Structure formats: structure tokens, C-alpha cells
Structure 1
Amino acid sequence: MDASNEIAEDISPIIRTYKDGRLERLDSAERVPPSLDPVTGVASKDVVIHPDTGISARLYLPKVGASTKLAVLVYFHGGGFCIWSAFSIPYHRLLNSIVSKANVVAVSVEYRLAPEHPIPAAYDDGWRALQWVASHAEGGPEPWLARERTNFSRVFLAGDSSGANMAHDVATRVGAEGLGGCSDVRVEGVVLLHPYFWGTERLPSEQGRDDGPLIRPEAARNLWMFVSGGAGFDNPRINPLAEGAPSLASLACRRVLVAVAGKDTLRDRGRAYCESLRSSGWGGEVELLETEGRDHGFFVFRPESRDASVLFKRLACFMMSKSKL
């Protein structure tokens, strides 16, 4: 058989590799340029964060008064660390919606993808992106993040699927290392939308499924091995509840919102994360939002649905409200 047609690894519906080295990203989307969205009034533009590695971001600014100080949302897109883009149509549409509802300035991070850039490249990029945002508290090059118009005491980290995994990782790193001399910067909250976590021991939602979930257990399992170069399933980055993982008590925020979907293979990981966070001694506020009858990432693919609208409103309320502690 011609090596160009011989499959080396098939992780449907995400990515497929061939023995001649070719990659086929199975679920990708057209990229769109930044714009002024006519529906929401949200403006966007692209910036380079780290020229040496090529890390960039799409910034979103809501239509608000010039004197209004805005909270900051740092968002990491999903795609199993190997597909999708901050510049793709679904995420451009998603961020326009979130920013218009929550009145935040958003930084949607374009990080490096596996397998060309294996884990931990994505995590390192997420960390550099937050550092870049935080540097503007002391004065930086990006006017949309000028300290005169930005409330750096209300920074939110968020993402969906693998991006939610990244948001957790970055928040953990802030707790362990801080943000250098950026004393005015505080991570107020973390939002994990259908987080991609895994582990050696299978949870109920990860076992034999006959309802055809979008991400089957085998795909979720094989994907981590593929993007991480064979790191174990109890590596703290894919299983933050594993023995020896950094304590959730040190998570660098006061509030956490976790959203799961009833039909999602990853549902029980999100639930377990909430339970462990509550019992860790962390002391903050954690909320769990479960959407019955929906599958993984439905709000990305069906943003016009009623359930997606409910999720977006909950997310906006989370970012607009203040801690009770």
C-alpha cells in the first residue's frame, strides 16, 4: 500500500496521521479576519504576543463608554491541543457573544498546536500570554489593555475542552509562581467549559457508551497520548486529581465556574473536579452548571441554541458579579 494512504493513527473526529508523515485535521474551520461585529458592536483586532514563538491573540473590545474600566478575559480555545484556532469562525463568533454580554475586554490566545509543537508548548504559550496581559498593568504597548481603561484586579481565565485544561494549568502556575512584579494583577475567576481531563481509572461517563457521544472514550484517551508524546494518564496536567498533582487549594483565584454536558464523555471529570476543589481547603466559591441532553462543546457548534444562551448568560453573570468572600 502507498504510504501516503496508509493510516498511522486515527483519532476521529479530531485528527488522523499517515505513515508518510502527513496530517489530516478532521474538524477544522475557516479562519476569519478581525472586524467590527454588526450584531454585537464588538470590535476585534489581532496582535503578536511573542514574536520568537509566533504566539498571537485576537483582542475583543465591547461597545462601552470610554471611561468604563473593563475586566479582562483570557480565553483558550478547544480542539484537543491539535486543531482549531482563535481565528476560526466558531471562536470568533463565540468571543463576540461573550464579550458583548459580559462587557469585558478579551484576549483569545492563538497558541501552538501539536503534533508539530507537542505538549507542553501549548501550556507554555498560555502562560506567556497571561504574562503579556499582566505586563500592561505597569504600562504596555497595547492600547486596548491600557491601565486607564482596564481593571487588572479582575482577570478571568477561561477555555473550553483542552482550553479549559489550559486555563486550570495557568491558574495553578499563578498560584505556585505568582506574576512577578505585577502586584496589581489578580486572577478573580476561572471558567472551565467542558474541561478535558482524564485519568487511568475510568469514571462512569467514560465507560462503554452506546449513545454515540461526540468524543468517544477511546478518542479522549488516545488523544492525550498523541499530543503529549506518551505522557501518562495520571500526569497532573491531564489529571489534576491524580496522586502527587499540585493541590487544588493553591489555585490562584477566588471563584471557579465549571460547565459540563449531560451526554459528554468528559462530564464526570468536571463533576469530580468540583467536588475535589470544594474539599481541598481552597476556600473559594465553586459553581457547577450542567446542561442536560447536550454533548461536548455544543455551545461552540450551536451558539444560537437556547441552552447556549443560558450558558453565555451564566458566564456573563459570573464575570460581572463579585465574590461573596
Structure 2
Amino acid sequence: MASDNPVIYDYSPYFRVYKDGSVERLKEEEQTPAGLDPLTSVNSKDIRITANVSARIYLPPITSTSKKLSLILYFRGGGFCILSSASPIVHRHLNGLAAVSSSIILSVDYRRAPEHHIPVQYDDCWAALEWVASHRSDVEPWLIDHADYDRVYLAGDSAGGNIVHNLAMRVGSQGLSNGLKLAGTILLDPYFWGKQLTASEAAADPELRKRLDQLWGMICPESTAGNDDPRVNPLAVGAPSLEDLGCMRMLMCTSEKDAMRDRAQMYYKALTTKSGWLGKAELYETKGEDHGFYLNDPDSKSTTMLLARIATFLA
């Protein structure tokens, strides 16, 4: 007899979503505790920002107490649905980034879909950004002692790159507390999609393409525009102008084999040639690599070169 509560989204081996909206997580995710990393000498600790939002903060080795460090608010990927700041691949990636760039990193743990629908994730990340902006004089001690509030960046991979775009648009439209200005944004393989397939999407593995095509409808079922919702397709008809992006510098990082590569490059071209945005954007593509290679192969030459490129952008 057919179930009266069938599975409507099957994202095995991670989770399933049922018709009644319930979510079944299929496996417990591995967690890495915060603390001193022996490979990089980066220290980390977990902090609470709001009742719903926590973060892991990373502090690289301090060579001069008088020199302030860039502060990166980092938003992880995972399709808005999986991973956390404590996931081993995220934790190692951010230890490496903090060490190479000599930056403080605040890795924001937003609530996950599909239990929580868009825009919860954007609002959680905005709360973290406003927490930084509104507490510039009395916030977390590592920030008081070492953060340069004239060099605050947003960065994220995949879904996190999508979050970076949407937060930067919100900064442009309403600003931040205490007049805080973003020094720049860094998007790594950002999750952008749309109803009309690009060449890189059409060439992707059919099962991957199916999951990506279903993803926005699952995490944002209230959207009436589907995959042409401006939050996931910033170039859709009627999307807000990129001219209003709330930063003056951007580094767009793409991977040659990524199914979403074309979207990122289309975004970069639109931003730099058509939008009227007055900032400066840079495009960096890693040849021969796929989506999220820096998480899956942290010791590769490609990852080393990418982290060095980000460090140059932050310098």
C-alpha cells in the first residue's frame, strides 16, 4: 500500500523530505572541535551571536600586537542544507585560509534548510554581520584586540557565495550599523541557477543537474519565480540592479569543471560591463578542477594557489 506521506525530495545519503514537510536526516555528520590547529598554528573557538546563530572564530598566529588583521565573515556551502562550521572539511579549509591570509575569520553557523526555508539563512547571516557592525567597541575579545574594522570582508563557497551576493545587495540598499563599510567580497563557486540551462549546466552529470534544479524549490518553496528568483538568479528579468551592490571590490573565483561556472562568469561580466557598478571586480578561474575542490583536496597545488590568490586580494 502506498504511503500517505511519500518522499518528495530524496537527497540521500544526507536527508529526505516528506510530503508533510518533515525531514529525515540519514546520517550523523562528523564534527571537529575548535582549538589550536597543529598544522597551521591557527586557534579557534565557538561563540554565540544570537539565540539562533553561532559562529566559529579563527585567529592566526599574531606576530605584532600593533598590526590589525582583516576580518572575514565566512559562509559555508552545502546547498544551505548540510555541513556546519565544525565539519572537518570546512574547519580545515578555514584554518588554511586564516593562516595564508593572516586574517581573522568568523565562520557563521546559520540555520539549515530544509527544516528552515529561505530567507532564514540570509537573515541569520545578516544578524551576524550586524552583530559585528553594531558592537565595534565591545565585542568578542579577539576582535577587539586584533580586527581591523576598515577591512571587513564577506566570503563564502557555493551556497555561501550566494549568501555573500544577497548580503552585499542588502548592504547596498540599507547600510550597516555604525557606518561600517564592506572592504570587499569573495565568492567561491557561488550557487547561482536559473530556468534556462547554460552550457556548463547542460554538460553536467544528469543526476547532479536534477538535484541542483530541484534545490531552490525545496529550500524556498514559497518563491513564485522558482529558479528565476533573483536571490538564486541575480540576472533574471526584473532582478535588482547589480549597480547597488554594497561593496567596491570583489573577487569571483570559479572552477573550470563546475556545473555552475557559466553563471558565475555571466554574473562577473554583467557586473563589470553592464550594471553601472562603480567598484572593481577580479575573476580567478582554476583550470581542471570541479566545484569545491579546495574543500575536498586541501593539500593540492590548485588549493594552494587559490588561497594565495585570496590572500593577495586581501593584502
Q: TM bucket by the smaller chain? A: over 0.9
Unaligned runs of 5+ in 1: 321-325
Task: Name which of 183, 189, 192 aligns with 1:194.
Answer: 189
The answer to whether residue 26 in structure 2 is matched with residue 31 in structure 1 is: no
Shift of 1:19: 5.7
- Identity, % of aligned pairs? 45
Task: Name which of 237, 255, 259 aligns with 2:249.
Answer: 255
Classify the secondary structure of the residue corresponding to 1:50: coil
Equivalent in the alignment of 2:283: 288
Task: Name which of 265, 268, 287 aligns with 1:271.
Answer: 265
Matches within 5 A, 1:1-80: 3=3, 7-11=7-11, 15-18=15-18, 21-24=22-25, 29-51=29-51, 54-64=52-62, 65-80=64-79
The answer to whether residue 294 in structure 2 is matched with residue 303 in structure 1 is: no
Classify the secondary structure of the residue corresponding to 2:135: helix
Shift of 1:230: 4.8
User: How far apart, in 2, do the equivalents of 1:141 and 1:319 lie?
Assistant: 23
Q: Is the 8 A contact 1:29 1:90 kept in 2?
A: no
Task: Name which of 153, 169, 172 aligns with 1:172.
Answer: 169
User: How far apart, in 1, do the equivalents of 2:26 and 2:201 lie?
Assistant: 24
User: How far apart, in 1, do the equivalents of 2:281 and 2:241 lie?
Assistant: 16
CA pair 59-204 structure 1, distance change in 2 beyond 3 A = same
Relative to the length of structure 1, the TM-score reads 0.90
User: How far apart, in 1, do the equivalents of 2:55 and 2:30 lie?
Assistant: 17
The answer to whether residue 219 in structure 2 is matched with residue 227 in structure 1 is: yes
User: How far apart, in 2, do the equivalents of 1:242 and 1:71 lie?
Assistant: 33
Q: Is the 8 A contact 1:206 1:265 kept in 2?
A: yes
Classify the secondary structure of the residue corresponding to 2:268: helix
Task: Name which of 234, 240, 258 aligns with 1:246.
Answer: 240
Shift of 1:100: 0.5
User: How far apart, in 2, do the equivalents of 1:205 and 1:230 lie?
Assistant: 28
User: How far apart, in 2, do the equivalents of 1:120 and 1:141 lie?
Assistant: 26
The answer to whether residue 117 in structure 2 is matched with residue 122 in structure 1 is: no
Shift of 1:141: 3.2
Paired residue type of 2:311: A
Relative to the length of structure 2, the TM-score reads 0.92
Shift of 1:149: 2.9
User: How far apart, in 2, do the equivalents of 1:272 and 1:12 lie?
Assistant: 31
Shift of 1:5: 10
Unaligned runs of 5+ in 2: none
Paired residue type of 1:86: S
Task: Name which of 237, 243, 247 aligns with 2:231.
Answer: 237
Equivalent in the alignment of 2:154: 157
CA pair 4-178 structure 1, distance change in 2 beyond 3 A = same
The answer to whether residue 138 in structure 2 is matched with residue 144 in structure 1 is: no
Classify the secondary structure of the residue corresponding to 2:307: helix
User: How far apart, in 2, do the equivalents of 1:22 and 1:200 lie?
Assistant: 26
With 272-281 and 200-209 compared, the bigger mean Cα shift is at: 200-209
Shift of 1:201: 1.5
Shift of 1:316: 1.0
Shift of 1:303: 0.8
Classify the secondary structure of the residue corresponding to 1:310: helix
Note the aligned Cα RMSD (angstroms).
2.0
Paired residue type of 1:170: L
Q: Is the 8 A contact 1:224 1:230 kept in 2?
A: no
Paired residue type of 2:251: L
Equivalent in the alignment of 1:323: none
Q: Is the 8 A contact 1:74 1:155 kept in 2?
A: yes
Classify the secondary structure of the residue corresponding to 2:227: coil
Shift of 1:207: 1.1
